[in-house]
Amino acid sequence: MLKHRGFPGRLPGTDFQFIIRRPNPKGVTAITRRERFRDRKPADRRADAGFMKALWEQFGDQPFERGNLDAGRLSWLFEREVIAAEDPFDPASYEALLVIDVSTAQVSFPDVFDRR
């Protein structure tokens, strides 16, 4: 499992996790698309924006390996702002390649992309 050095471990001042420390001994947690409903808590929305900002600053528009990125946090963005960068895609692999769909991410998180 690739460890992304320099990637924030969590959203500052919260318990929203961005990375995992070690591989899951029971097997890799698959990335699945999670629906984001309009009534989500503001803290959850800030966590999504913070994670997107960290992804953008670390990887930009280049493909990246899932590695130690948290599957739960990725799942909130998967198949919208973060998409598979390979075909076939294995959602239960630490080596899976992902990429930011910049046009979709700019619409969903305009504050993240206005600062760069």
Q: Residue type for 110, please?
A: P
pLDDT band at 14 (very low <50, low <70, confident <90, very high): confident
In a domain, 36, yes or no: no
Q: What percent helix, strand, coil does the chain show, rounded to 5? A: 30, 10, 60
pTM of the model: 0.90
End-to-end CA distance of the chain: 30
In a domain, 27, yes or no: no
The string of pLDDT tens digits covering residues 42-99 is 999 999 999 999 999 999 999 999 999 999 999 999 999 999 999 999 999 999 999 9
The domain in which residue 86 lies consists of: 42-114
In a domain, 101, yes or no: yes
In a domain, 93, yes or no: yes
In a domain, 28, yes or no: no
In a domain, 10, yes or no: no
Q: Which residues of 72-84 are buried (b: 16+ CB within 10 A; e: fewer)?
A: ebbbbbbebbbeb
In a domain, 95, yes or no: yes
The string of pLDDT tens digits covering residues 48-64 is 999 999 999 999 999 99
